[in-house]
Amino acid sequence: MAIFGNLGNYRNFGLLIIRVGLGLMFIFHGLPKLEGGVKSWETIGSAMGSAGIHFFPVFWGLASAVVETVGGFLLILGLAFRPVCLLLVIDLVVAALFHFHKGEGLMGASHAIEDAIMFAGLLFVGPGKYSVDKK
């Protein structure tokens, strides 16, 4: 459609919108986990059992909370963008496995799967021009 024909000229602005929106949501989602303390981290980290990893649940829970919170902030800045995307993909794959393991099926895991797909795509696309990592 002609009305949308020139929007391709604003790809970098579109990437900025995606980065800021997802970054804010991951900070919002991860900060309570980070502030939850050891008991919360252990509960979150036990999700690694769905991937066959049953040791150090507190470490894995803290790692997940840090990746979501600090990763969200770094997404907004566009700093260390591709490594953050990779870590978030891993975090979200574990989350999806956990939902499947709990018997929630595709509907329970869909949010994690959707976000993992988005970050996998962003891993290849990069942060765009309006970022600290711009080339």
How does pLDDT run across 28-49, given as a tens digit for each residue?
999 999 999 999 999 999 999 9
What's the chain's average pLDDT? Answer: 95
What integer pLDDT is reported at residue 89 of this predicted model? 98
Check: CB of residue 45 under 8 Å from CB of residue 56.
Answer: yes
Query: Is the torsion defined by CA of 114, 119, 125, 128 positive or negative?
Result: positive
pLDDT, tens digit, 9 for 90 and up, residues 64-116: 999 999 999 999 999 999 999 999 999 999 999 999 999 999 999 999 999 99
- In angstroms, the CA 15 to CA 131 distance is 9
Task: Give the Cα separation of 96 and 50 in Å (integer).
Answer: 9
Residue-wise pLDDT tens digits, 114-126:
999 999 999 999 9
Span 1-27, average pLDDT: 91
**pLDDT at 1 exceeding the cut of 80:** no
Residue 85 · residue 131 · CB < 8 Å: no
SS3 sequence of 91-113: HHHHHHHHHHHCCCHHHHHHHHH
- Joined tokens for residue 110: 């869909």
